[in-house]
Amino acid sequence: MREFTITLPETKAYYEEELNNYKTVSSKKAFLTRSRKDVEEWHDDLVGAYNRPQRMLHGERVGMIDIHMTVGELRILRDLYKQQ
């Protein structure tokens, strides 16, 4: 299963650090858009697995905390995109 950073502040710090690797605003926004699409896809997979009776994805149990973490990550990405 996908590894989550332990806390949302650490997740935000990760994305801010990654943004430092890009020089132009357009490349930063492109990175954030790619990241957002990846997280949205992962979120959809988690929700689909959570709604199944066995609540399993790739052999691991899906909990509501996993879904909440992806929502928090999407909010971080949205806020960072607006700051650019």
pLDDT, one tens digit per residue, over 25-82 is 999 999 999 999 999 999 999 999 999 999 999 999 999 999 999 999 999 999 999 9
Asked whether residue 16 is assigned to any structural domain, the reply reads no
**33, 35, 41, 45 alpha-carbon torsion, rounded to 10°:** -160
pLDDT at 8: 84
In the beta sheet, which residues pair with residue 57? 60
Task: Tell me the CA distances in angstroms from 55 to 6, 15, 39, 67, 72, one per residue in order.
Answer: 22, 29, 19, 12, 21
DSSP 18: H
Report how many domains make up the chain: 1
In a domain, 14, yes or no: no
Single pTM value for the model = 0.87
List the domain range (segments joined by +) for residue 73: 25-83
